[in-house]
A and B are shown apart, each in its own frame.
Chain A
Amino acid sequence: MLNEIAFLLLASLTLAGAVAAMMLRNLVHCALCAAGAFAGLAALYLQLNAEFAGFAQLLVYVGAVAILIVFTILLTRGAEIQPGGTTASPSWWMGVPVGALVAACLVGSIMSSPSLLRLPSQNVQAPVKSIGEQLMTQYIMPLEAIGLLLTAALLGAVVIAMREPPKSEPAAR
């Protein structure tokens, strides 16, 4: 009973954050609401006893992605509120069939998935340890590939951000 109430509270908070992130006019408010939705998701993971996933979600999304979004908004100077106009784009109706399609796909696959069967819950001992062992043995190749990809992305970002000084200009004073 207590569990259901907690779930409903967290789920409604997460959904409210997500909806507010789409509907609000001020971009910074949207970003903050999105961060709230991320935190709500993390709390939902924790409620499912997925400690590692919950903390990683909090660390990565609230700690890094939300900050990144906020910085992007400030650096592109999009935070000013435009008077008048709506938040929706003129072709908003295109989103309705797309959303319906995605929802149908998700509902279809979830309803046919075997994980809906209520199995007796297995108490996983020290899940962090087993996650680490799996990552270092069975999933070592994907892990390395992701590491390589992220390093490449990081270097690429540095190269893009580095502004080459024009050759003709005399050296700095």
Chain B
Amino acid sequence: MSGLDQIFVGIGHGLAGWAPASVRPLVAAVLEIAGIMAVFGSCFALTTIVERKVLGRMQNRYGPNRVGPCGLLQPLADGIKMLTKEDIVPFSADKTVHFLAPLALTVPVWLAFAVLPFGRNMSAIELNSGILFFFAIGSASELAVFMAGWSSQNKYSLVGAMRAIAQMISYEVPLVLSTVPVLMLAGSLSLNDIVAAQGTYTFGGLARWNVFTPWGLAGLLLFLIAATAESNRSPFDLPEGESEIIAGFLTEYSGFKYALFFLGEYLGLFALTGLAVTLFLGGWHAPFQWLEWAPSWLWFGIKFGALIFLFIWVRATLPRLRLDQLLNFSWRFLTPLSLINLLVAAAWYWTGAWKSAAAPPVRWLLCAALIALPYHWLGQALRGASPPPRKYNYAE
């Protein structure tokens, strides 16, 4: 088991062992960075083609099928196209900020991967407050989006950036709140500890993942919705809404800078997906005890791929929301529900001391009712209320 499981760790140690002792930590760090960048860089290329293929399939058309066998070389062609395109900077743009914005978006997103545990002994740095690092680094992207929108000196860009910032700030609240129950019950901010807390097995060899508890299931759903909004994906892709504001803050970007934004957006999605796997789906642990023989990184990859497919599926299915619907959905529905989820986690914690044989199902149903009933009532209350008539301040 340990041979294949630790193969990447072993390769890393072996390669670093060649270096002289004084620079060995540096070489090891560079190798880790190179590994992360290679894996998730190719993941990005793969996802672009898979996404277009799956979208095509779901919408009853072919998708890209001209470049290479079954169109599999399409990412390569896209990459060459992006690199060779002319880099257009608008005449009135703020040149420095316009240049820095794609970098300011992409660099922090790469940094977020440093704390994710991809397998047993496979996280680049182990921080006591890993999840805090993740969100702190992620908060830099809002400023980058503003830089892109403002420096373009274009009304569509600025409107797109403002939409993006409003959306990111609104959905960061449920995103962070939905992770809090996990931290509370694991008693740690370290992602490795959180994975370790989900590493035991209960009846029938079923894993003790957080998603199998009522608060974990609700938390995962809240987290996935908020993550879709954070990474500006359909149905929350208003910042780029092509039919309304051309391409939002991307309007004045072309060539390689546009590719960098694209990369940053997908990598942000990957990082959030990796965090969802780590927090709710047991990280690199197998779902059943008798499946533990498979390498840990393979389990992480399978869960990761499944969630990415879910995101593509949602994108193919749902239409775009309106801005007021989007903000109301976050503040009136997701945020209260994620607060209630905190109480459910507390109830789960206190009922953990029950000893009788009937305790587990009763406890599960009680906690599930604690989150399901508010969900139903809140949904009914918000559906019944007709929205106030729209008032136009500037467009009379």
Contact = CB atoms under 8 A, between A and B. Distances in A.
Interface of A: 26, 28-29, 32, 35, 39, 42, 51-52, 55-56, 58-59, 62-64, 66-67, 70-71, 74, 126-129, 172-173
A59 B143 contact: no
20 contacts: A28-B97, A28-B150, A29-B94, A32-B97, A32-B147, A39-B140, A51-B132, A55-B133, A59-B135, A62-B136, A62-B140, A62-B143, A63-B142, A63-B143, A67-B146, A67-B169, A126-B128, A128-B129, A172-B388, A173-B389
A42 B391 CA distance: 43
A64 B389 CA distance: 32
Interface residues of B, number: 24
* 8 A-B pairs closest in CB distance: A63-B139, A58-B136, A55-B136, A59-B136, A55-B132, A172-B389, A128-B129, A51-B129
Given A51-B128, A52-B129, A172 B147 contact: no
B128 A56 contact: no
Given A42-B136, A51-B133, A56-B136, 18 more contacts: A29-B94, A32-B143, A32-B147, A35-B143, A51-B128, A51-B129, A55-B129, A56-B132, A58-B136, A58-B137, A58-B139, A59-B135, A59-B136, A63-B143, A67-B165, A67-B169, A71-B165, A129-B188
Contacts of A55: 129, 132-133, 136
Main secondary structure of the interface of B (DSSP, over half): helix
Contacts of B221: none
Given A51-B128, A67-B169, A172 B143 contact: no
A127 B389 CA distance: 52
Nearest to B165: A67
Nearest to A51: B129
Interface string B135-165: 1110110110011001000000000000001
Interface string B374-391: 000000000000001101
Contacts of B137: 58
Contacts of B129: 51-52, 55, 128
A155 to B, nearest CB: 15
Contacts of B389: 172-173
Interface of B: 94, 97, 127-129, 132-133, 135-137, 139-140, 142-143, 146-147, 150, 165, 169, 188-189, 388-389, 391
A106 to B, nearest CB: 28
Among A26, A66, A67, A172, residue most surrounded by chain B Cβ atoms (within 10 Å): A67
Contacts of B189: 128
A67 B97 contact: no
A23 B158 CA distance: 25
Main secondary structure of the interface of A (DSSP, over half): helix
A128 B150 CA distance: 37
A36 to B, nearest CB: 10
B143 to A, nearest CB: 6
Contacts of A173: 389
A51 B128 CA distance: 8
Contacts of B150: 28, 70, 74
A17 to B, nearest CB: 13
Given A67-B165, A67-B169, A172-B391, A52 B140 contact: no
A70 B391 contact: no
Given A32-B97, A67-B169, A52 B132 contact: yes
Contacts of A70: 143, 146, 150
Contacts of B136: 42, 55-56, 58-59, 62-63
Contacts of B391: 172
Nearest to A52: B129
A157 B129 CA distance: 32
Contacts of B132: 51-52, 55-56, 59, 128
